[in-house]
Amino acid sequence: MRIILFSKNTVTLLLLFTVFCINAATFDRTKSAILVEDANLDDKLKLRQVFAQIVVNNTGETISDVLNNSVFLEANIKSGLKRSYVEQIDNAYLSENSSYKYWFHAVMQEKFIDRVIADARFSVLPKNREKIMAWVTVTQDPDETKPEQKTNELTYAYDDELIIYWLNHWAKVMGINLVLPKMDEIDSINVSPQSIKSLSFESQKQAQSRYYVSHNLLLSIDKKADKVKARSGYARSNQDIVINHFQDLNGDIGSLMYSVFADLSFRFAQPFKIDSANIQIHTIQIVVNNLSSYDDVMHVQEYLKHLSVINDSMIVSATQNQLVLTSELTVTTASFLSMINRDKILFPVDQGSINQLVFSFNNL
């Protein structure tokens, strides 16, 4: 969002206060990557597949729906490509049976992405993504070199470099704002490996009370000599946990993690994506009352800045008690209000006129 300020006084006021960090982050919506077998950059199929992942990240649609869409199939993807490159994967992160050796990265033109999404009438997923905290355990067969280990051992997975590599890379590829707990003494006392595996509430409580994170992935990985299995539980505030099971018979952690994160990406997107019927560019005035300080003003400004459904915004006035902006929305007023109500930072109190929305700031 580009902020246009009217006066030197307003500039001074905004620069005097620290930027408020909200529990969300934006991702680069123009790029993604896929696993490939070779380093050939001229493969049209690779480009189509990675562009499909970019569209998925921007829409919340499934990969199959994107790949089978007639507009997507007819798109001249190369014309929208800015650059592509390959990155070799260290053998330490690949299973013996894996045919993949590289990441194929692509960066697309933003206008091209938006045009394909609009023409295909896909939904739109705002680029500000709330954090998802990953609580991960691993169970492994006993180490034959250690006779004292006679049974499978359930442990936290944060010291497992292989698991963490794929955890972080698939999250980045799919535009997921994944965070890990510190797993210090405070976390380990409150959240045991067994509580994660059993999908109990301790991890969710810890994520909310210590890290202020409302979304959680509880992931238990079971490593066998010949295969690898996982059970995931996705939990968000005031919702029942969603459970799923995955396995890879070749023991490929990378492929297993792809399935886990494709499912997580889909689950996360459902309450946030905006149907194409609700896309509408129009201008409104936003009035925010109940501000007690200029810190609150900055808080609200930063919150609105991270709402990617606002294109441009101009501050009309900013005082200790009230912030008034003129903003260009890319969605209907009803969709915008639904997003505001979900975040519980601003509460609608009145509609001053057809093109004005009035809110009260939640300063609790």
What are 232's strand-pairing partners?
219, 244
pLDDT class of 358 with cuts at 50, 70, 90:
very high
Please report where in the chains the tokens 């380990």 appear, as a residue: 188
Q: Which of 300, 337, 343 is nearest to 320 (CA)?
A: 300
Q: Are residues 167 and 146 in the same domain?
A: yes
Residues 186 and 264 in one domain: yes
- Which residues does 42 contact at the CB level (< 8 Å), separation at least 6? none
Domain CATH for 231:
3.30.160.100
Distance CA 215, CA 84 (A): 33
Would 117 be classed as within a structural domain? no
Domain boundaries, position 314: 2-24+275-361
Same domain, 241 and 317: no
Residue 115 buriedness (CB in 10 A; 0-12 / 13-18 / 19+): middle
Residues 265 and 343 in one domain: no
End-to-end CA distance of the chain, in Å? 26
Give yes or no for a contact between 66 and 124, defined as CB atoms under 8 angstroms apart. no
Q: Is residue 122 part of a domain?
A: no
Q: 244 and 165 in one domain?
A: yes
Instruction: Say how many domains are in the chain.
Output: 3
Q: How far apart (Å, rounded) are the C-alpha atoms in residues 93 and 195?
A: 28
Is the same domain home to 83 and 148? no
User: Mind listing the pLDDT tens digit for each residue in 262-304?
Assistant: 999 999 999 888 898 888 889 999 999 999 888 888 888 888 8
pLDDT of residue 237: 77
Please indicate, yes or no, whether residues 219 and 338 belong to a single structural domain of this protein. Answer: no
The rounded mean pLDDT for the chain is 87
Shared-domain flag, residues 92 and 14: no
Share of the chain above pLDDT 90, in %: 65
On whether both 309 and 258 belong to a single domain, the answer is no
| Residues 249 and 308 both lie in one domain | no
| Residue at 116 is within a domain | no
Residues 15 and 41 in one domain: no
182 falls within a domain? yes
| Residues facing 103 on adjacent strands | 35, 87
Q: What is the pTM of this model?
A: 0.81
- Domain identity same for 135 and 255: yes
Judging by DSSP bridges, how do beta strands 346-353 and 323-331 pair with one another?
unpaired
- Give the span between the Cα atoms of 198 and 218, in whole angstroms: 9
Say which range, 48-52, 121-125, 149-153, 224-228, has the weakest mean pLDDT: 149-153
